[in-house]
Chain A
Amino acid sequence: MPDTNGPHLIRGARPLGGDPVDLLFVDGRIAAIGPDLEAPEGARTVDATGLIALPGLVDLHTHLREPGREDAETVASGSRSAAMGGYTSVHAMANTDPVADTAGVVEQVWRLGREAGYCDVRPVGAVTVGLAGEQLSEIGAMADSAAQVRVFSDDGICVSDALLMRRALEYVKAFDGVIAQHAQEPRLTEGAQMNEGCVSDRLGLPGWPAVAEEAIIARDCLLAQHVGSRLHVCHVSTKGSVDIIRWAKERGCDVTAEVTPHHLLLTDELVESYDPIYKVNPPLRTAEDVQALREGLADGTIDIVATDHAPHPVEAKETEWSTAAMGMVGLETALAVVQRTMVDTGLLTWAQVADRMSTAPARIGRVDGHGRELAVGEPANVVLYDPAAPVEIDGGAMVTKSSNTPFRGMTLPGGVRATFLRGVPTVLEGKIK
């Protein structure tokens, strides 16, 4: 846990990419914002010249692997990785072992997050017992627990039973919860290994058709509207999904959606190498899909960027494609990938990045104290980001316990210099505290 130190005076940062000002953090809150602020006694000064200040990022989709797969990641190592990526709050997905389907497990994860102290860990509760898709888990107990769970998901597995999905959507209305659906029609994706299309056909790998995602999204949007519930769609990956969500929003469905950084940048052509570092669920799609996802994120059809940070040990990826694990680490590269794909391309302003990566995810997850304005009196959850510090990505140099980054060897345009959680630096000078 980082030392709780005194006031911090941030010199010359550009809030949301605007004009440089100073920010003063005292007692966990933003105490002052303005030019040439006076440093109070004992304050530590941080030179933030040229750095962009954003509200601390909020991830709605993180796999911290604990309990069960502590060889890949722990709540502590994963929340340190999150801090390194500029996050001050993450949602820990439920597909642990044991599954986070009881108040006991979610409270354990929540407590481990508090003990680590690098960001606010919000557990996600499983929709169904053991992610088996047969019977609702004790959703109410998880909501009432100390962990205050508001996001429920069987992520990794689709709640494919339409009636069970309807019940889950209805049930969480009682405490303003949301069902985050992993949209994947199971029969259409039996044995699927990668996006179905020219590349899969050439490589002889069983294909994962876009329709398997789109059909579930369409069904769930209709269900959510019918029962008047909130639906969140995890890791949207196809052009058709963007079109369906746009249509659903126009007709008044209360649906939100996320896209991952890797789906904003990478395509299925990378699978030509048969290197499972590119194996992920949902799979990397085509350049046309990537373009549609970027446009969807820009026009607000897709509400947020979520990492789907999925650490795996080396041996899970150093194998044949078909036996390799699905997933990629993403917390420490998310902001730089969003800069490259959305900001440097002119699709989003930094203020919109703050919305897509902090404000909106905090709102969807009902996370108090995060995703707030950079304003006096607000909690000092802040990230300082250097948009002009190109770095070659090296999985081995990351803070996460795993190294399965698909961006290895690529040069990304910037990096996080500092992260503050309620005024306490978790990252300073680009290094984890």
Chain B
Amino acid sequence: MRHLLSTGDLSRDEATLILDTAAELAQVGDRSVKKLPTLRGRTVVNLFYEDSTRTRTSFELAAKRLSADVINFSAKGSSVSKGESLKDTALTLQAMGADAVVIRHSASGAAHRLANWVDGSVLNAGDGTHEHPTQALLDAYTMRDRLGRLEGLRVAVVGDILHSRVARSNVLLLTTLGAHVTLVAPPTLLPVSVHTWSCEVSYDLDEVLPKSDVVMMLRVQAERMRDSFFPSVREYSRNYGLDGERLGKMPSEAIVMHPGPMVRGMEISAEVADSPRCTVTEQVTNGVSLRMAVLYLLLGGS
């Protein structure tokens, strides 16, 4: 494994290795000195074209816990409108000797393009509406951690599937790992060819909830309303929002997940967000271990 661009590139064994490695590295987070010397002398660049303090901080922490040198290269604005192209930035980082580049970009495929231009490893930290592989991996990690297995797990992913890189990465990864995914959304927020995907589709959240071990809520941006993806925030929330009453329809062991940031009152009520069955903060904690595992495996640390 040289790059991590898509969860679709991972075999079941590779994905499981990442999760197992993350579980081992998680113990570092419990120590008083949270640091391993594994990647000492290696350079990791965080190349963020989109604001994402959460993801950037998580990667930064992961690299630092492995003793790598971390450079944050924030490059706001698109390459055409302002200054340097992605290719020239890539060549610059290459010339500086970056061993790994973690890229977040608003353009789908930006990580793939970058991988053509640098010798080091490329980690896709979210590319447009395409994929967000480490998010899906940390989600799978959290499910396995909480529920003890992934094989046969019934996972509902609810919300703006069409524009969600988290949904794409999760469908590919969870299917590889033996879980059964059901996407739940109004038809306008589903891709037109979703029937060809390796998952089920439903327009009815209430019908899916009792049959789910995991309910993953995705952020829905209010601006989608202006583009007529749904008539109003209230109507969306009524049909697809997760509140206390709906939580009651889920099996008692079932968990609620959210990749964050949450829009309380839109896709999730405060009552559910703050409930012990909601794993949002665990996902953040697990994200650091998971990203440590990916960096470790990609950079061949020992």
Expressed in whole angstroms, the Cα–Cα distance for A198 and B193 within the complex equals 5
* 8 Å CB contact of B193 from A193, A197, A206, A323: A197
* 8 Å CB contact of A205 from B105, B109, B113: B109
- Please tell me if B202 contacts chain A, counting CB pairs below 8 Å: no
| A residues 164-220 in Cβ contact with B at 8 Å | 193, 196-198, 200-207, 209
A197, A209, A321 pick with most chain B CB within 10 angstroms = A321
The reply to whether B107 and A201 form a contact with Cβ atoms under 8 Å apart is no
* 8 Å CB contact of A321 from B85, B109, B131: B109
The reply to whether A204 and B108 form a contact with Cβ atoms under 8 Å apart is yes
The reply to whether B85 and A197 form a contact with Cβ atoms under 8 Å apart is no
Q: 6 A–B contact pairs at CB < 8 A?
A: A202-B168, A204-B108, A274-B112, A315-B85, A320-B86, A322-B109
- Please tell me if A429 contacts chain B, counting CB pairs below 8 Å: no
Name the CB-closest residue of A to B81.
A323
Interface residue total, chain A, C-beta cutoff 8 A? 23
Q: Mark B38-71, 1 if CB is under 8 A from A, else 0.
A: 0000000000000000000000000000000000
- Please tell me if B12 contacts chain A, counting CB pairs below 8 Å: no
Expressed in whole angstroms, the Cα–Cα distance for A322 and B86 within the complex equals 12
The reply to whether A320 and B196 form a contact with Cβ atoms under 8 Å apart is no
- Please tell me if A318 contacts chain B, counting CB pairs below 8 Å: yes
- Please tell me if A319 contacts chain B, counting CB pairs below 8 Å: yes
Distance in Å from the Cβ of B179 to the closest Cβ of chain A? 19
The reply to whether A205 and B87 form a contact with Cβ atoms under 8 Å apart is no
Chain B residue numbers with a CB within 8 Å of A319 are 79-80, 85-87, 113
Please give 17 more A-B residue pairs, beta carbons under 8 A apart, in addition to A319-B87, A320-B107. A193-B108, A197-B193, A198-B196, A201-B193, A203-B109, A205-B128, A206-B129, A207-B192, A209-B192, A274-B109, A315-B85, A319-B85, A319-B86, A320-B86, A320-B110, A323-B78, A323-B80
Expressed in whole angstroms, the Cα–Cα distance for A322 and B130 within the complex equals 12
Distance in Å from the Cβ of A319 to the closest Cβ of chain B? 6
| A residues 315-341 in Cβ contact with B at 8 Å | 315, 318-323
Chain B residue numbers with a CB within 8 Å of A202 are 168
CB contact under 8 A between A323 and B87, given known A196-B192, A203-B130: no
Chain B residue numbers with a CB within 8 Å of A207 are 192
The reply to whether B128 and A204 form a contact with Cβ atoms under 8 Å apart is yes
The reply to whether A323 and B108 form a contact with Cβ atoms under 8 Å apart is no
- Please tell me if B37 contacts chain A, counting CB pairs below 8 Å: no
Chain B residue numbers with a CB within 8 Å of A193 are 108
What 10 A-B pairs come out closest when comparing CB atoms? Answer: A274-B109, A204-B130, A201-B191, A320-B107, A204-B129, A204-B108, A322-B107, A198-B193, A274-B112, A201-B193
- Please tell me if B194 contacts chain A, counting CB pairs below 8 Å: yes
Name the CB-closest residue of B to A204.
B130
- Please tell me if B258 contacts chain A, counting CB pairs below 8 Å: no
Expressed in whole angstroms, the Cα–Cα distance for A200 and B196 within the complex equals 12
Expressed in whole angstroms, the Cα–Cα distance for A270 and B149 within the complex equals 37
| B residues 94-139 in Cβ contact with A at 8 Å | 105-110, 112-113, 127-131
CB contact under 8 A between A322 and B191, given known A205-B109, A273-B112: no
Name the CB-closest residue of A to B112.
A274
The reply to whether B192 and A323 form a contact with Cβ atoms under 8 Å apart is no
Distance in Å from the Cβ of A405 to the closest Cβ of chain B? 18
* 8 Å CB contact of A323 from B107, B131, B168, B197: B107
The reply to whether A321 and B107 form a contact with Cβ atoms under 8 Å apart is yes
Chain A residue numbers with a CB within 8 Å of B106 are 322
- Please tell me if B165 contacts chain A, counting CB pairs below 8 Å: yes
Distance in Å from the Cβ of B187 to the closest Cβ of chain A? 14
Expressed in whole angstroms, the Cα–Cα distance for A204 and B193 within the complex equals 12
* 8 Å CB contact of A201 from B78, B86, B110, B194: B194
CB contact under 8 A between A320 and B113, given known A204-B108, A204-B168: yes
Distance in Å from the Cβ of A414 to the closest Cβ of chain B? 32
Chain A residue numbers with a CB within 8 Å of B193 are 197-198, 201
* 8 Å CB contact of B108 from A198, A205, A275: A205
Expressed in whole angstroms, the Cα–Cα distance for A209 and B192 within the complex equals 10
The reply to whether A321 and B108 form a contact with Cβ atoms under 8 Å apart is yes
Chain B residue numbers with a CB within 8 Å of A321 are 107-109, 113
Q: Mark A289-329, 1 if CB is under 8 A from B, else 0.
A: 00000000000000000000000000100111111000000
The reply to whether B168 and A322 form a contact with Cβ atoms under 8 Å apart is no
CB contact under 8 A between A201 and B192, given known A321-B113, A323-B78, A323-B80: yes
Chain B residue numbers with a CB within 8 Å of A275 are 113
Expressed in whole angstroms, the Cα–Cα distance for A315 and B196 within the complex equals 36
Distance in Å from the Cβ of A192 to the closest Cβ of chain B? 13
Chain A residue numbers with a CB within 8 Å of B79 are 319-320, 323
The reply to whether B105 and A320 form a contact with Cβ atoms under 8 Å apart is yes
Expressed in whole angstroms, the Cα–Cα distance for A318 and B80 within the complex equals 11
